[in-house]
Structure 1
């Protein structure tokens, strides 16, 4: 394989690992801390986190993986169409595209946008409780799905490299 492919697949592994690590660490640390907060503090924290995550470093790894997985898959297809490496990468790209990107864009982001419009300052205690109930469980379920999908994408991407060694 050309050097450019080797750089692309290593970059893909690296970026996928970064996103997987972000989702994993969020699940086992941030969510644990957020669960201990009262409704008002929880909603404020999630609004702040949802705004802060929209930054170039996050987008480089989140979108970079979405771009590089299909590029690497196509490159392998052109050179080794029937190889296990191709099938691993194709599966990784599909899982990432649907299970990570799709779930985020069509699941988590709409919930984040609803939460962002929620005015904590003028809401009653009951309204905040209702907002948290409407947001927290669906968001966490979607986050679990994308975390597992990201992990599988990473494992498949790594497997596509390992079997070629």
Structure 2
């Protein structure tokens, strides 16, 4: 029952060949599950701003509103938000790449659609919401009424779009699962 070293290596290689697709499939599944979780958390965060925080802030005076938004804009971009912000793109991309050629006719396009939604939402954030946040921060000490008028309607419109995109991305990833 002695086995030569060459046969062991051949056996190990065949085992690795058999495990490789299984491991890749497990990685793809893990990335996809994490994608749904992270995108769901991100969409929930966006939805909370849309349906609770912004309507609550709308009832404040101009000074209170601009002060509150400035504080939010200082606190939101922390580590937890960055994990979500980056994760909604990185995790579906990882699921797509580790499962290349393995996704069925529904999962592949759903993941691609989710990525498109996530990237579009990020572009809106980077090109629209962040510049508005920066302008609001720079207006501190000035006319709060003018600052609010320049900020609130446009920010809310952009936020509605990126919230919808995040929700669609989450649904698409759930479909892909």
Gaps of 5+ in 1: none
Task: Report the Cα distance in structure 2 between the residues aligned to 1:70 and 1:23, rounded to whole angstroms.
Answer: 21
1:145 to 155, 161, 164: 161
Q: Is the 8 A contact 1:76 1:85 kept in 2?
A: no
When the two chains are superposed, the root-mean-square deviation of aligned CA atoms in Å is 1.2
Instruction: Determine if the alignment matches structure 1 residue 116 to structure 2 residue 137.
Output: yes
Q: Is the 8 A contact 2:27 2:98 kept in 1?
A: no
Match of 1:66 in 2: 89
Task: Give, in angstroms, the shift of residue 19 of structure 1.
Answer: 0.4
Instruction: Determine if the alignment matches structure 1 residue 12 to structure 2 residue 35.
Output: yes
Match of 1:78 in 2: 101
Task: Report the Cα distance in structure 2 between the residues aligned to 1:117 and 1:42, rounded to whole angstroms.
Answer: 15
TM-score by length of 1: 0.89
Match of 1:97 in 2: 119
Deviations for 1:87-124, whole angstroms, at most 9, x for unmatched residues?
010011011111x111111110110111111122xx2x
Say which one has the larger Rg.
2
Q: Is the 8 A contact 1:73 1:93 kept in 2?
A: no
Q: Is the 8 A contact 2:114 2:170 kept in 1?
A: yes
TM-score by length of 2: 0.83
Task: Report the Cα distance in structure 1 between the residues aligned to 2:140 and 2:166, rounded to whole angstroms.
Answer: 33
SS in 2 for 1:77: coil
Task: Report the Cα distance in structure 1 between the residues aligned to 2:102 and 2:29, rounded to whole angstroms.
Answer: 13
Deviations for 1:20-44, whole angstroms, at most 9, x for unmatched residues?
0001111111011100100001000
Gaps of 5+ in 2: 1-21
SS in 2 for 1:107: helix
Instruction: Determine if the alignment matches structure 1 residue 87 to structure 2 residue 87.
Output: no
Q: Is the 8 A contact 2:29 2:95 kept in 1?
A: no
Q: How many residues align?
A: 154
